[in-house]
Chain A
Amino acid sequence: KAGVTQTPRYLIKTRGQQVTLSCSPISGHRSVSWYQQTPGQGLQFLFEYFSETQRNKGNFPGRFSGRQFSNSRSEMNVSTLELGDSALYLCASSKGQGVGSYNEQFFGPGTRLTVL
């Protein structure tokens, strides 16, 4: 069974640009969650989508948005990039709603975003 895949794996952007990251969950999984990981702040929860609806959202500005498609694939968009957005962006999938439940989450390898 294929794992969670994320594209692209690496990305370099400049301040002010926008970026879209993609996540394909494990087949049969309906929940996709997004996380930001930086050396200074560690892991932080961005949002979770389940059945194309945002179910939970962390404390990030509105520049961070996402969506989920009918095939459970998800995209995350960051507009007006700032230097502080440089981070590893991880997505995780689970069968049921994952974040607040007991469902195990499976993480992808992440997308390394560098903002210059």
Chain B
Amino acid sequence: KNQVEQSPQSLIILEGKNCTLQCNYTVSPFSNLRWYKQDTGRGPVSLTIMTFSENTKSNGRYTATLDADTKQSSLHITASQLSDSASYICVVIPLTGANNLFFGTGTRLTVIP
């Protein structure tokens, strides 16, 4: 079983709407949790990095939250734009070492006009 599960697998929203992507993990303890955006045919771009003690981190219209008790993180996108169409990947890095980074399989977001 994957230690990082993302949902939904894919999502279609109208331009201007908000959306929330979920990341559930079982990795524990962990050093930090990261959200990346990956456009088709490009490398991932870092959106947020949160340590285990942080609850929220923002980057423009992107806000990541972390609930260590429920082992859930979410990425909220406000006022979506066409350029937000991409895959969003959650990554959990364990505290014991970086030899086993745990990647989610991503959520494919499509924003339509």
- Given the known interface contacts A43-B103, A102-B32, A102-B51, the answer about A92 and B43 at a Cβ–Cβ threshold of 8 Å is yes
Q: Which of B51, B98, B103 contacts A56 (CB 8 A)?
A: B98
What 1/0 flags go to A81-116 for Cβ under 8 Å of B?
000000000101000000111101111111000000
Q: CA–CA, A42 to B98, complex, Å?
A: 17
Interface set, chain A 19-50, CB cutoff 8 A to B? 42-45, 48
* Interface size in chain A (residues, C-beta < 8 A): 24
Distance of A19 Cα from B32 Cα, bound (Å): 33
CA distance A108 to B44 in the complex (A): 8
Kindly state whether residue B101 has any CB partner on chain A within 8 Å: yes
Contact of B43 among A42, A45, A90 (CB under 8 A): A90
Within the complex, which residue of B44, B51, B98, B100 is in contact with A107, where a contact is CB–CB below 8 Å? Answer: B44
Number of A-B pairs whose CB atoms are under 8 Å?
A: 55
Chain B interface residue count, Cβ-Cβ cutoff 8 angstroms: 22
Residues from chain B with a CB closer than 8 A to the CB of A100 are 31, 93, 97-98
Residue B49 at the chain A interface, CB threshold 8 Å: yes
Q: How far is the CB of B62 from chain A (nearest CB, A)?
A: 14
For the complex, give the distance between the alpha carbons of A104 and B103 in Å. Answer: 16
Selected from B43, B45, B49, B99, the residue in CB contact (under 8 A) with A102 is B49
Given A100-B31, A100-B98: A43 touches B89 (CB 8 Å cut-off): yes
Task: Write the nearest CB–CB distance from A6 to chain B, whole angstroms.
Answer: 8
| Chain A residues within CB distance 8 Å of chain B | 4, 42-45, 48, 55-59, 90, 92, 99-102, 104-110
Ranked 3 nearest A-B pairs via Cβ: A107-B43, A100-B98, A99-B98
